[in-house]
């Protein structure tokens, strides 16, 4: 009998999020599932790790083929804990992070806890997939995301990348009717940034506080090979992610001025 | 009279850290300084932003040419708040993040709050420099870091990069006697990862908890063009940082399997 696959699942919205339940349903189709997800919402946590606090683990659910834990740290803490402790003597075949409530396209890959976890997962020698529909609604419909994710995950498991590079996919799904989605596009990360506004209010004792909000500026709205373009034109955007942040073109400038 | 430069300063160890005081001394040599730093230590906070909590600002110190604020968010929150609110109508000439207590070379650039802030700062159109000696000691000696940072900052201000790319430097200084430092090397980010151990203990009420610790594995100890090699061989390592995380070499594989 063929050994069942082992899938590790996490997210950044916390174990109680609707998207996490949808992800559990989806990934169980591919094998046994161990899930370790944050105890509380951790959106925007990026690749953060918890260095100065203890982290508490709770088993939330257990049945044959499925274990769900909450962990009081960041998404990346969940991945590290799973691979370096909980599952240290087992072979994991796939990491899935999500299904997120909201887009992680373009520069959001830097801030996203969902993608932080997916990136971290890819360091452990199995493919990792972050799943994010662009719908932020807590009650979002995840059916289209599940359907496309199912195809993408199947393809990755059946035809592994043999390049020796860690495989990490940033998959974003447009918030439109499933029938209107035009297919999947492999894209590059769009250039652009967030500009923030800080709402200023006062607490009940008169102490001022600020609350971050903002809007995204696309630096290259004309380019048709970006994840932003794909989403705006009705495609599921798939960006392969790597972590070498060296700016090679700037090295000669620096060598010149730092001589 | 020439207008004085405006320097924005932040860090991830918090406004009260010794390295921050050293950074203030250093950057005042270059112009007027506005500093917004986390209220509490935020090491390992990566590019995290605070989405679900209010953030409190406190003016900690003010004198001609220097204002120091604490902000109860992450390092990136501090940068966003400075550029999009506090200094929104002023031109900032330079961002400095640090001086950190501990190395941010190699893959640490992903987890580092110091570098998260420097990267964020570079999005606002001025050069950004993250400064990290490899000494984690809270009472570390920052003299060598200051000396080399002074030279690097002067060079960047005097000979700006005209490529149109944001300039963000990850500067790491080896923990050796200043006289033994062999100079500055422009490097690429070394490949390698952290493997963690989770210390397990119990709280006073018997509830188990975990605490993250780990060790770094260098995937390419032989390569002589990496930041790790430079540090281990007595050089100050300077890596220019960019944020396109697209894995271009994997796009054709994905296009093939996702057809």
- Would residue B82 count as lying in a domain? yes
pLDDT in tens, B122-170: 999 999 999 999 988 888 899 999 999 999 999 999 999 999 999 999 9
How many angstroms separate the CA of residue A3 from the nearest CA in chain B?
A: 24
Nearest beta carbon to residue B167 from set A48, A111, A250 = A250
Q: Which of A43, A47, A71, A185 best probes binding to B when mutated, by most B CB atoms within 10 angstroms?
A: A47
CB contact under 8 A, B56 and A207: yes
- Would residue A213 count as lying in a domain? no
Residue B242 has pLDDT above 90, yes or no: yes
pLDDT in tens, B86-111: 999 999 999 999 999 999 999 999 99
**CB contacts, 8 Å: B126 with chain A:** none
- Would residue B255 count as lying in a domain? no
How many angstroms separate the CA of residue A82 from the nearest CA in chain B?
A: 10
- With tokens 């499925």, the residue in question is A66
Q: How many CB atoms lie within 10 A of CB B100?
A: 34
Q: Taking CA atoms, what residue in B is nearest to A191?
A: B244
Number of domains chain B is built from: 1
Nearest beta carbon to residue B257 from set A41, A159, A242 = A159
Residue A22 has pLDDT above 70, yes or no: yes
- Would residue B207 count as lying in a domain? no
Q: Taking CA atoms, what residue in B is nearest to A185?
A: B255
Banded model confidence at residue B2, pLDDT cuts 50, 70, 90: confident
A95 φ/ψ angles, rounded to the nearest 5 degrees: -115, 130
Contact present, B94 and B157 (Cβ < 8 Å): yes
Q: How far apart are CA A204 and CA A116, in angstroms?
A: 35
Q: How far apart are CA B158 and CA A183, in angstroms?
A: 50
Banded model confidence at residue B1, pLDDT cuts 50, 70, 90: low
Q: How far apart are CA B29 and CA B153, in angstroms?
A: 11
Average confidence score pLDDT of chain A: 96
Domain that holds residue B142: 6-191+223-245
Contact present, A37 and A6 (Cβ < 8 Å): no
Q: Facing residues of B133 across strands?
A: B173
pLDDT in tens, A216-226: 999 999 999 99
**CB contacts, 8 Å: B207 with chain A:** 56
Q: How far apart are CA A46 and CA A75, in angstroms?
A: 8
Q: Taking CA atoms, what residue in B is nearest to A120?
A: B193
Structure tokens at B233: 């061989």
**CB contacts, 8 Å: A57 with chain B:** 208-210
- Would residue A178 count as lying in a domain? yes
pLDDT in tens, B176-232: 999 999 999 999 999 999 999 999 999 999 999 999 999 999 999 999 999 999 999
Contact present, A83 and A92 (Cβ < 8 Å): yes
How many angstroms separate the CA of residue A22 from the nearest CA in chain B?
A: 22
By the 10 Å C-beta count (0-12 exposed, 13-18 middle, 19+ buried), A125 is classed as exposed
CB contact under 8 A, B250 and A165: yes
Q: How far apart are CA A208 and CA A91, in angstroms?
A: 51
Mean pLDDT of A202-211: 94
Banded model confidence at residue B255, pLDDT cuts 50, 70, 90: very high
pLDDT in tens, B26-61: 999 999 999 999 999 999 999 999 999 999 999 999
Nearest beta carbon to residue B246 from set A189, A195, A209 = A189
- Would residue B252 count as lying in a domain? no
Mean pLDDT of A57-79: 98
Helix (H) / strand (E) containing A236: strand A235-240
**CB contacts, 8 Å: B245 with chain A:** 109-110, 189, 239, 241-243, 245
CB contact under 8 A, B184 and A258: yes
Q: What is the pLDDT of residue A1?
A: 58
CA-based radius of gyration for chain A: 19
Q: Which residues contact A177 (CB under 8 A, 6 or more apart)?
A: none
Residue A53 has pLDDT above 70, yes or no: yes
Nearest to A28 by CA among A153, A174, A121, A189: A153
Nearest beta carbon to residue A186 from set B44, B198, B254 = B254
Q: What is the pLDDT of residue B182?
A: 97
By the 10 Å C-beta count (0-12 exposed, 13-18 middle, 19+ buried), A170 is classed as buried
Q: How many CB atoms lie within 10 A of CB B52?
A: 11
pLDDT in tens, A135-154: 888 888 999 999 999 999 99
Nearest to B40 by CA among B78, B67, B71, B68: B71
Q: How far apart are CA A107 and CA A191, in angstroms?
A: 7
Please give the torsion angle defined by the CA atoms of residues B181, B184, B189 and B194, in that order, rounded to the nearest 10 degrees.
Answer: 20
Residue B259 has pLDDT above 90, yes or no: no
- Domain with B184 in it: what CATH number? 3.40.1210.10
Q: What is the pLDDT of residue B173?
A: 97
For β-strands A6-10 and A32-38, DSSP reports them as: parallel
- Would residue A77 count as lying in a domain? yes
Q: What is the pLDDT of residue A214?
A: 92
Banded model confidence at residue A259, pLDDT cuts 50, 70, 90: confident
**CB contacts, 8 Å: B50 with chain A:** 44, 212
Nearest beta carbon to residue A197 from set B84, B243, B250 = B84
- Would residue B129 count as lying in a domain? yes
What 3 state SS string does A5-59 have?
CEEEEECCCCCCCHHHHHHHHHHHCCCEEEEEEECCCCCCCCCCCCCCCCECEEE
């Amino acid at each position: 009998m063929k050994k069942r696959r082992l899938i590790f699942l996490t997210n950044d919205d916390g174990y109680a999020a609707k998207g996490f339940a949808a992800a559990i349903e989806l990934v169980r189709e591919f094998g046994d599932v161990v899930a370790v997800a944050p105890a509380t919402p951790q959106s925007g946590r990026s690749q953060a790790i918890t260095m100065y606090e203890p982290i508490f683990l709770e088993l939330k659910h257990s049945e044959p083929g499925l274990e769900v834990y909450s962990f009081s740290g960041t998404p990346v803490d969940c991945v590290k804990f799973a691979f370096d402790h909980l599952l240290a003597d087992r072979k994991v075949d796939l990491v899935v992070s999500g299904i997120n409530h909201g887009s992680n396209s373009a520069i959001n890959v830097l801030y996203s806890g969902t993608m932080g976890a997916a990136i971290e997962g890819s360091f452990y020698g199995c493919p990792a997939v972050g799943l994010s529909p662009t719908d932020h609604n807590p009650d979002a419909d995840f059916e289209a995301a599940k359907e496309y994710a199912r195809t993408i995950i199947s393809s990755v498991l059946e035809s592994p990348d043999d390049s020796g590079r860690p495989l990490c996919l940033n998959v974003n799904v447009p918030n439109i009717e499933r029938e209107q989605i035009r297919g999947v596009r492999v894209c590059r990360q769009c250039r652009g940034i967030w500009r923030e506004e800080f709402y200023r209010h006062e607490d009940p004792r008169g102490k001022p506080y600020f609350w971050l909000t903002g809007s995204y500026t696309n630096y290259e709205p004309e380019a048709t090979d970006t994840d932003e373009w794909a989403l705006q034109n009705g495609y599921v955007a798939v960006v392969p992610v790597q972590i070498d942040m060296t700016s090679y073109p700037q090295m000669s400038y620096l060598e010149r001025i730092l001589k």
